[in-house]
């Protein structure tokens, strides 16, 4: 079945350590996104990528890094520079928004990774 997979579901990190969250999709989507959600808060965009080898900062990119070496993968690294990394992280993918031939644009989401700094 096609879908988007995030791993792990729960992740614990010691302060000062970098950690990488995985996001893989087999939907052949060009666009991928990382969002952060804090308790009782909405979704804030960290980074997004519309095509392989290209990505842009979102609203809260500081302390995070990404790569997009393959179409199906968009890993997020939470670096030690991120002062408050404990949160729920959601990855999403969608068809390219500017492709007007695709009538059924939809964004698919992974199940999320809950990161806790201990």
Question: Contact residues for other proteins (CB under 8 A)?
Answer: 31, 33, 35, 40-43, 45, 48, 50, 56, 58, 88, 90, 92, 94, 97-100, 103-112, 114
Residue among 4 and 16 whose Cβ is closer to other proteins: 4
β-bridge pairing 113-117 and 87-94: antiparallel
Residue among 17 and 116 whose Cβ is closer to other proteins: 116
| DSSP output for 40-108 | T--EEEEEEEEETTEEEE-TT-TTEEE--SBTTB--EEE-TT-S---EEEEEEEE--TT-TT-----EE
Residue among 48 and 64 whose Cβ is closer to other proteins: 48
Say if CB 58 and CB 7 are below 8 A apart.
no
* Least CB distance to other proteins at residue 80 (A): 25
Residue among 77 and 107 whose Cβ is closer to other proteins: 107
């Amino acid at each position: 079945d096609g879908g988007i997979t995030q791993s792990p579901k729960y992740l614990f990190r010691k302060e000062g350590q970098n950690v990488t969250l995985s996001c893989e999709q087999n939907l052949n989507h060009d666009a991928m996104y990382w969002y952060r959600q804090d308790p009782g808060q909405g979704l804030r965009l960290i980074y997004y990528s519309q095509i392989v080898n290209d990505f842009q900062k979102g609203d809260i990119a500081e302390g995070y890094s990404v790569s997009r070496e393959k179409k199906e993968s968009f890993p997020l690294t939470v670096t030690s520079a991120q002062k408050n990394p404990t949160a729920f992280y959601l990855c999403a993918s969608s068809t390219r928004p500017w492709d007007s031939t695709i009538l059924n644009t939809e964004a698919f989401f992974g199940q999320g990774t809950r990161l806790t700094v201990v």
